[in-house]
């Protein structure tokens, strides 16, 4: 009886792990490096890239224009093309950020 119970737990655990791996595999990550670009071009490049992507794919936007850190996600949300998942300030000296955006 205990063996059957342990086997069931093992099967459920394996299924959960496989499900997580499948979800990660479905989320293709693309990178867009737009350092040196200013608004509104930062959003234009981001929008053009998102339009080529499939729903739920991930776009990492690397940028160095401070105003774009707020403007790009706001414009994506307003136009219903992307959802901001994360903002990472990777270089405080050069003001470089990575925006992680999920295609809607």
Q: How far is CA 25 from CA 18, 29, 39, 101, in A?
A: 10, 10, 33, 17
76 has catalytic annotation? no
> By CB neighbour count within 10 A (0-12 exposed, 13-18 middle, 19+ buried), where does 62 fall?
middle
Q: Is residue 15 part of a domain?
A: no
Q: Is residue 56 part of a domain?
A: yes
- Give the predicted TM-score (pTM) of the model: 0.74
Q: Is residue 22 part of a domain?
A: no
Give the tens place of pLDDT for each residue, 32-49: 999 999 999 999 999 999
Number of domains composing the chain: 1
Residue 104 to residue 102: CA distance in whole angstroms: 6
Give the tens place of pLDDT for each residue, 10-26: 777 777 666 665 555 55
Domain around 72: 28-103
Q: Is residue 12 part of a domain?
A: no
Place of tokens 């992680």: 100
- Active-site choice (30, 33, 39, 84): 39
CATH number at residue 33: 3.30.110.40
- For residue 81, what is the DSSP state? S
Take residue 38 and report the two structure tokens written for it. Answer: 């200013």
Q: Is residue 61 part of a domain?
A: yes
Q: Is residue 7 part of a domain?
A: no
């Amino acid at each position: 009886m205990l063996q059957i119970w342990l086997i069931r737990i093992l099967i459920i655990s394996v299924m959960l792990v496989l499900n997580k791996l499948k979800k990660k595999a479905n989320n293709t990550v693309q990178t867009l490096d737009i350092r040196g670009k200013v608004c509104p071009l930062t959003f234009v490049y981001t929008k053009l890239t998102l339009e080529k992507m499939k729903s739920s794919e991930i776009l990492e936007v690397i940028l160095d224009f401070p105003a774009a850190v707020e403007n790009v996600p706001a414009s994506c949300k307003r136009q219903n093309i992307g959802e901001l998942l994360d903002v990472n300030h990777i270089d405080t000296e050069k003001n470089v950020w990575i925006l992680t955006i999920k295609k809607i």
